Structures are given as structure tokens and as C-alpha cells.
């Protein structure tokens, strides 16, 4: 599985569509994703203090778009070069930062 942190309003705005892409997809040309062990670092770096996120659990075998692992610092991250097929979304979990504005422990227990 791979994961994408989505802003809930962007997901909601595309509720009737078969595919999803965050607003920044138009500028970047790909969708940032993570493996489970990368989630907390990404969330803290990009979304610190936010309580309006959704964690999309994706089955990469169901994606129509290409997924490529590319360097992001010392790790490689999955990037989807196209929109996310909603049929590839296995689960959606609301995510909120903790009282410190970070995501420490928030992703513990994910399957």
C-alpha cells in the first residue's frame, strides 16, 4: 500500500469524479505519496498544525497512472504521474494533528 495525505476540502470538491488530484498537481505534474514509515515526517514537514486532512490508503495495483519512486532527500517516495483512480482508494481516514500541532503518534496502528 501507499498513502496520500489529502486536504479534505479538495477531496470533497471532487466527490462526483472518478479520479482525484490535489490542486498542486497542475503545477507539479505528479501526486506526492508516501509509504507508511514516511507519513509522520511528511505530515510534519508539509501539514504542521492542520486538522483538515484525509489519509488515502491506495492499492498501487489498481492505479491507472504510473507510480515511480523518486528521491526526496535521503529516501525515495512514490509519485503518481496522473490522477488517483478512486477505485484504488482502499480506505479514507480523517487525520488531525495532536495538541502540539504535529503528527507524532497519529499514524501508529495503521494497517
Per-residue pLDDT of the chain (111 residues; tens, 9 = 90+): 999 999 999 999 999 999 999 999 999 999 999 999 999 999 999 999 999 999 999 999 999 999 999 997 889 999 999 999 999 999 999 999 999 999 998 998 887
Supply the range of the domain harboring residue 64.
2-95
Q: Is residue 42 part of a domain?
A: yes
Q: Is residue 111 part of a domain?
A: no
Total of domains in the chain: 1
Q: Is residue 109 part of a domain?
A: no
DSSP state of 62: G
Q: Is residue 88 part of a domain?
A: yes
Please report, for residues 10, 15, 72, 73, 94, the alpha-carbon distance to residue 86 in angstroms, rounded to integers and kept in the order given: 14, 10, 26, 29, 17
Q: What are phi and psi of 46, to 5 degrees?
A: -105, -35
Q: Is residue 29 part of a domain?
A: yes
Q: What CATH number is attached to the domain comprising 19? A: 3.20.170.20
**Contact yes or no for 76/37 (Cβ under 8 A):** no
Enter the pTM of the model.
Answer: 0.94
Amino acid at each position: 500500500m501507499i498513502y496520500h495525505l489529502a486536504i479534505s476540502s479538495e477531496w470533497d470538491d471532487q466527490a462526483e469524479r472518478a479520479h482525484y488530484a490535489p490542486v498542486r498537481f497542475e503545477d507539479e505534474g505528479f501526486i506526492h505519496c508516501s509509504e507508511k514509515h514516511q507519513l509522520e515526517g511528511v505530515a510534519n514537514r508539509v501539514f504542521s498544525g492542520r486538522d483538515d486532512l484525509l489519509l488515502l490508503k491506495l492499492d498501487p495495483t489498481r492505479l491507472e497512472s504510473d507510480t515511480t519512486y523518486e528521491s526526496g532527500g535521503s529516501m525515495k517516495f512514490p509519485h503518481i504521474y496522473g490522477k488517483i483512480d478512486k477505485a484504488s482508494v482502499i480506505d479514507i481516514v480523517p487525520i488531525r494533528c495532536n495538541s502540539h500541532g504535529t503528527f507524532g503518534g497519529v499514524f501508529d496502528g495503521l494497517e
